[in-house]
Amino acid sequence: MAGKTFRFGVVAAAQEGGAKWRETARRAEDLGYSTLLSPDNLHLPTPTAALAVAAAVTTELRVGTFVYASPLRTPRAAAWEAHSLSVLTDRRFEMGIGTGLPAMREAAAELGLPYGNGAERLTQVSDTISHLRRLDGDAHTPVMIAAGGPKARQLAGERADIVTLAGSVLASRADTAQYAAEIRAAAGGREVELAMNIFVVGEEIPPWIRGFIGHDIETLVEHDSLTLLRGGPASMAEELQRRREELGVSYYSVNGAFLEDFAPVVARLSGR
């Protein structure tokens, strides 16, 4: 299938202070990454502040949330933050949003907000987009939805500009192709950019990533996990080209731990 041109993002947190964060932003831009993406977590600096700083020390790098957890803000507050970032970064901001991991239940409680059930959290995602569109007026802040389940994929296809396939770490290629097809069907004739997050680049999983995904490298290899990318730059590039052809995925993000390791692939494929 025909795909969009490749672009690449790096997911990192401003947890080591301002100087290190500014260095990360500049380095990501120098290496040719399209976006610097910040997670949403009460134990880290707020992505709103982090991304504003990153945009201020770069000229072309785009910035984005990866992703706002809908239970941690009211839809109007989330849209306010997103629109403000879009304006102050001269439209270099992309709002990523999703319903949040189960761990967000405790975070929402700490903020005095309801966690809600799945349908309610998905409604919050939709309402946030509606508020953002009203605030944007004639402008258009790109919206990414991290879509795991069928209802999220339906909403993402209908309303998002970018959809990150956020299913199981061990989802097969066939299942992932089906998820992508559902999103395209929901989009109708509207153009949607499909994205995927690569958790592991190479042969080793950093401990914190191992704890997050709950699987070792052997299990990822055994299941041909699409969250794993192995081999040298040429073979990695070939694999991503295969995925674009088979799945239509053209936008890939990697963890900040792999910023340098993945850079040769970015150099080979970015904009192609």
Strand (E) or helix (H) holding 111 = none
Asked if residues 198 and 220 have their Cβ atoms less than 8 Å apart, the reply is no
Q: What pLDDT sits at residue 3?
A: 58
In a domain, 149, yes or no: yes
Range of the domain at 41: 7-269
Across the chain, mean pLDDT equals 96
Q: Is the confidence at residue 1, as pLDDT, over 60?
A: no
pTM (2 d.p.): 0.96
pLDDT band at 52 (very low <50, low <70, confident <90, very high): very high
| Cβ contact 143:132 at 8 Å | yes
What is the residue whose two structure tokens read 């967000």?
A: 104
Average pLDDT of the residues in 21-42: 97
Residue 152 lies in a domain: yes
Measured in degrees and rounded to the nearest 5, phi and psi for residue 152 equal -65, -40
In the DSSP assignment, the letter for residue 66 is: S
| Dist CA 241 CA 120 (whole Å) | 37
Start-to-end CA span in the chain (Å): 15
Confidence (pLDDT) at 54: 98
CATH number at residue 265: 3.20.20.30
- Residues 243-265: what's their mean pLDDT? 97
What number of CA atoms fall less than 13 Å from residue 76's CA on the CB side? 0
Please report whether residue 58 resides in a domain: yes
Mean pLDDT confidence for 16-34: 97
| Tally of CB atoms within 10 A around 118 | 12
Count of domains in the chain?
1
Inter-axis angle of helices 47-56 and 75-88, nearest 10? 10
Say if residue 136's pLDDT is above 90: yes
pLDDT at 237: 98
Read off the pLDDT of residues 70-107 as tens digits, 9 standing for 90 and up.
999 999 999 999 999 999 999 999 999 999 989 899 99
Phi-psi region for residue 218, left (φ > 0), alpha (ψ -120 to 50) or beta?
alpha
Mean pLDDT over 37-57 rounds to 97
Q: What is the pLDDT of residue 167?
A: 86
Residue 174 lies in a domain: yes
Going 44 to 46 to 51 to 57, the CA torsion angle's sign is: negative
User: Which residues make beta-bridge pairs with 96?
Assistant: 144
Reported as a single tens digit per residue, the pLDDT across 110-122 is: 999 999 999 999 9
Is residue 2, in this structure, part of any structural domain at all?
A: no
For 197-210, letters b (16+ CB in 10 Å) and e give: bbbbbbeebeeebe
Please check the confidence at residue 2 and state whether its pLDDT lies above 50.
no
Burial 89-117 (b: 16+ CB within 10 A, else e): beebbbbbbbbbeeebeebbeeeebebbe
| pLDDT for the residue numbered 200 | 96
* Closest CA relative to residue 236, chosen from 258, 216, 219, 214: 258
Residue 89 lies in a domain: yes
User: Which amino acid, residue 137?
Assistant: G
Residue 1 in domain: no
